[in-house]
Structure 1
Amino acid sequence: MSSMEDETANLFRIRRTAMQMLKDRGYLVEDFEINMTKSEFTEKYGENMRRSDLVFNKSKQNDTSDQIYIFFTEEQKVAVEKIRTIINRMKSENVFRAILVVQQNLTPYARTSVREISSKFHVEVFQDAELLVNIKEHVLVPEHQVLTSEEKKILLEQYTLKETQLPRIQITDPIARYYGLKHGQVVKIIRLSETAGRYVTYRYVV
């Protein structure tokens, strides 16, 4: 297999994981977009596709004004100029969330730039290698459900708890990153149990 074929195969898998991830976050993603075959992918984007051809945006199922962009960067190492270009595009389209799929880590200045604009523009960064396989489909990863604010309130009242008394999950945890969890959210974790059938726990995002 040539290096070009390798790159196409990798981008096919990365794009599919990104689509699955957005659907699991509640964005409008059609099944055919996730189930696209590699040959359909190649036919749509061409054999000599550029990473930038794969850029797309999606809207939330319950709020079409809440959009997110997925950017695939061409640069081996993304510098601050690229971050500015992306932010300008988001600003012009009133989109305030984005996922940046990069080949290598951002430069230090680019990382600083992402932090500086984080109060208005929320930009998540994933390296290619993190999206080649969907972590959620791993046999050892239990089902996760992100609670709404109302569901969180009911849970805490039901057990007379403060949120900080719940077990914790780090915001940097791979599964927390997959779901785009924010500080203060609560996630319900459902594990299969031979004795109880289902074993439910909750985690507070810190």
Structure 2
Amino acid sequence: MEESGVENGGGHLALMPSCMSSWVDNGSVESHRYYLARRTILEMLKDRGYDAPDSDLNLSLHEFRSIFSEHPDLERLRISLPLLSNPSKKIIVIFCGTDKVKLGVIRGIRGQIANDTSLTRLILILQSEMTSQAKQDLSLFQVDVEIFQGTLFLVNLAKRYASLWFFNSIGSA
């Protein structure tokens, strides 16, 4: 069996079978999390009837990193999609990063989307908490705003439960 060297925590090379080394992710944890979250959000939006392109849904982790880098710029991760049944209605998804979301951030977002007349819904993906002042300022938005913690999107629970239901129903048949 072919083996490859992988550096372990002490700086020494540990031998790992090559079939297993192909599963080792040498990229950043940050990019992997954003990849999983973005893909799950796109799946959710497709389920809600938005025009999520298959090319984005089927993006591999390697392709994601080549497009967005190991340390993705949050502006580039932004998603903007029309509703299939009414393309004049649009949703935007904004990733807010790891810092506490303060009033200035929310006001900045409101300023960015203020003139977008086709925007009907906004989703904010947080990785930390939002201040009470920032939450209050959300009431000034002219669109429906949803707030989610980014960790919720690392796994698509709807898919996971659907597959568990399928396998459980096969076992009981």
The alignment's TM-score, normalised by the length of structure 2, stands at 0.74
User: Per the alignment, in what secondary structure is the counterpart of residue 96 of structure 1?
Assistant: strand
Paired residues of 2:28 and 2:71 also in contact (CA < 8 A): no
How big is the alpha-carbon RMSD for the aligned residues of Structure 1 and Structure 2?
2.7
> C-alpha separation between the residues in 2 aligned to 1:3 and 1:37?
15
> C-alpha separation between the residues in 2 aligned to 1:4 and 1:113?
37
The corresponding residue for 2:108 is 85
User: Per the alignment, in what secondary structure is the counterpart of residue 92 of structure 2?
Assistant: strand
Number of aligned residue pairs: give it: 145
Q: Kindly, what percent of the aligned residue pairs are identical? A: 27
The corresponding residue for 1:154 is none
User: Per the alignment, in what secondary structure is the counterpart of residue 92 of structure 1?
Assistant: coil
Q: Greater relative contact order: 1 or 2 (C-alpha under 8 angstroms, separation 6 or more)?
A: 2
Bigger Rg over Cα: 2
- Gaps (5+ residues) in structure 2? 1-23
1:100 to 116, 124, 148: 124
- Gaps (5+ residues) in structure 1? 144-191, 198-206
Deviations 1:66-119 (A, max 9, x none): 0000101135111111111111222222223111011112111111112x225x
The corresponding residue for 1:69 is 92
Is the counterpart of residue 8 in structure 1 residue 31 in structure 2? yes
> C-alpha separation between the residues in 2 aligned to 1:110 and 1:141?
38
Deviating above 4 A after TM superposition, structure 1's stretches of 4 or more consecutive aligned residues are 1-4, 140-143
Map 1:131-146 → 2, pairs under 5 A: 131-139=153-161
The alignment's TM-score, normalised by the length of structure 1, stands at 0.63
> C-alpha separation between the residues in 2 aligned to 1:76 and 1:26?
31
